[in-house]
Amino acid sequence: MIITISHQYGSGGRLIGKTLADRLSLPFYDGDFWTDREGAGESASIGRADAFRITESLMKKSVTLYEAAEKLKKGAESIAYENCVVCGSVSSCFENSPSVFAVFIHAPRNQRVKRCISEHHMEEETAERVVDSADRIWETFYEIVSGKKWGHCDNYSLSMDSSRLGINGTVDFILSAFSLQSDVHVC
């Protein structure tokens, strides 16, 4: 079973995914997981970088989102049969699999901006640009890789607003829903 965590930038999705993996004693893979894997290439490692780094990386390497998506899919094949938690861009490679428990983490924009200011020591204007830019890039990337609409509740087993319960409360809720293992769709 693979648990995927797709998320809006600044929603705490990566921390939620890492905490979930730790509690389940499962491997955790995020956007950088395949950089150590043969054949993936460094241009594929755009998963959890902020929007400015993503854009800069793509421009410097002349890599299109389509090329990066193909590299991502190739790297993801190496964990396709492993029990794990997969977060960020990598998760989009598994969204069409029936053995996936897919989670989408979101939060109000103002909460995500506050989180960026607090955790990444950004100015408010910069945080706003990063949140908006990263979400646009991740949305496009998700749709290229999965062929589905990013953030649309029909594409996930569970969709959660992390600002409601906080990081640990959101992890607890995901664990409860995951343990039920029925066709849970909470939007």
- Tens of pLDDT, residues 117-134: 998 898 999 999 999 988
* C-alpha to C-alpha distance for 19 and 16, rounded to whole angstroms: 5
Residue 163 pLDDT > 80, yes or no? yes
CB of 99 within 8 A of CB of 154?
A: no
Number of domains in the chain: 1
Query: What CATH number does the domain containing 16 carry?
Result: 3.40.50.300
- Would 187 be classed as within a structural domain? no
Residue 13 scores a pLDDT above 50: yes
Q: Is position 185 within any domain?
A: no
Q: If you average pLDDT over every residue of the chain, what do you get?
A: 76
pTM above 0.85, yes or no: no
Bridge partners of residue 3, in order along the sequence: 85, 101
Domain range spanning residue 127?
A: 2-180
Q: What is the DSSP letter of 114?
A: H
The amino acid occupying position 132 is: D
